[in-house]
Amino acid sequence: MKIKEPEFRCGTKKAIESLVNEYNYPYENWMLDWPYEIANPEKIQSYFTHYNEQDDEDKKFSLIQMLIQALTDIDNEKEFKKNWQQLKLLIIKDFKIHEYTIFYWCCFGEKLSDCWKITPYMRKVWSKIKTN
């Protein structure tokens, strides 16, 4: 079964610049994967807190990318699963904002063994939302 790719979305310059200032992170125009390059698993709780304080969808979009990458970089399985539960609630609640990002991390068409450790979790969320 072919899965329809959602409309492409990326982080806005305004949202990224705001997060750069708030977190004092580096940013250069050539940093195409900025949220993935700067994400720090040690700051994951800060990202969750900041996300929950947001009304701006563009900032939420970039923050969720930071959260996903930070989660992916957590080696401790217990910590990974605990943080996944928080992340899952956010991406389900704000699915319309994050649909493209979730789709991206699902790696449809690829074997799970060739994907990130978060991919099977993302596929379950995608399946749950898209089949309901």
Global pTM exceeds 0.75: yes
Query: How many angstroms separate the CA atoms of 93 and 98, rounded?
Result: 10
Residue ranges of the domains in the chain?
13-131
User: pLDDT (tens digit, 9 = 90+) per residue, 13-60?
Assistant: 999 999 999 999 988 888 878 889 999 999 999 999 999 999 999 999
User: Which of 17, 28, 30, 35 shows the shortest CA–CA distance to 105?
Assistant: 35
Max Cα–Cα distance, the chain, nearest Å: 44
- Quick one: the chain helix, strand, coil %, rounded to 5? 65, 0, 35
Report helix, strand or coil for 120.
helix
Angle made by CA atoms 107, 118, 76, in degrees to the nearest 5: 155
> What are the tens digits of pLDDT across the range 1-12?
678 999 999 999
